[in-house]
């Protein structure tokens, strides 16, 4: 709480200390949108600057994560839309293009879990990361993404079933045959 008070007064060191854990979660979420490191860093910097300006309105440390994710997702969507208008730089995330999907998996295949998550569609992947990695609850995700809680729960169920299918022996075999 002491760090939050200092950060609210404009202390950059206190802000850095209080957002250290948030940055890891923000990074993972930004990776759902972008594969290029410079894009991830850019969107994180923009979001952290926005959070620093708005921290004066934060009363409890528990409010930081949802607020940070709100800014991050907003800025990710803005940059994603700008990039998607100019180029088709994220085409390789689509499930229907095997050769580009293989390139992407080779680029990001640090672990089987990460590979399975990256095989999900963008919406499934984003909500899964927010729910399972960042620890946001269904209501917080629904608020951030401006969706109903039932829609978010349905997406979580679909993602969970899809991941289970991939990870199971039969799913792994189908997945490897697909690649």
pLDDT of res. 97: 46
Residues 77 and 111 in one domain: no
Total number of domains constituting the chain: 2
Region for 135 from its dihedrals, namely left if φ exceeds 0, alpha if ψ lies in -120 to 50, beta otherwise:
left
Cα angle for residues 51, 37, 30 (degrees, 5° grid):
45
| Parent domain of 144 | 91-179
Range of weakest confidence among 10-19, 122-131, 142-151, 159-168: 159-168
pLDDT of res. 51: 92
Residues 96 and 58 in one domain: no
Query: Tell me, what DSSP letter sits at residue 89?
Result: T
pLDDT of res. 28: 85
Last residue of a domain, one of 89, 108, 139: 89
More confident residue, 168 or 50: 50
Residues 106 and 167 in one domain: yes
Of 49, 47, 36, the C-alpha closest to 69 is 47
Residues 79 and 104 in one domain: no
CATH code for the domain in which residue 118 is found:
1.10.10
Residues 113 and 164 in one domain: yes
Cβ proximity of 54 and 67 under 8 Å: yes
pLDDT of res. 92: 44
Residues 108 and 44 in one domain: no
Residues 101-138 have pLDDT tens digits of: 555 444 444 445 666 777 788 888 888 888 887 788 89
pLDDT of res. 48: 92
pLDDT of res. 108: 44
pTM: 0.58
pLDDT of res. 93: 44
Residues 27-86 have pLDDT tens digits of: 888 887 877 888 889 999 999 999 999 988 888 888 888 889 888 888 888 887 776 654
pLDDT at 175 over 70: no
Last residue of a domain, one of 66, 89, 112: 89
Last residue of a domain, one of 72, 89, 106: 89
């Amino acid at each position: 709480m002491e760090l939050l008070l200092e950060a609210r007064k404009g202390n950059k060191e206190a802000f850095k200390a209080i957002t250290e854990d948030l940055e890891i979660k923000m990074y993972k979420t930004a990776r759902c949108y972008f594969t290029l490191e410079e894009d991830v860093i850019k969107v994180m910097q923009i979001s952290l600057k926005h959070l620093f300006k708005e921290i004066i309105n934060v009363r409890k440390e528990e409010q930081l994560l949802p607020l940070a994710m709100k800014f991050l997702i907003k800025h990710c969507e803005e940059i994603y839309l700008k990039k998607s208008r100019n180029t088709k730089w994220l085409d390789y995330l689509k499930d229907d293009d095997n050769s580009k999907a293989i390139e992407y998996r080779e680029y990001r295949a640090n672990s089987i879990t990460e590979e399975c998550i990256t095989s999900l569609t963008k919406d499934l992947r984003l909500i899964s990361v927010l729910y399972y990695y960042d620890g946001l609850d269904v209501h917080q995700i629904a608020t951030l993404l401006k969706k109903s809680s039932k829609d978010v729960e349905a997406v979580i169920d679909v993602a969970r079933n899809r991941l289970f299918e991939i990870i199971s022996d039969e799913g792994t075999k189908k997945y490897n045959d697909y690649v």
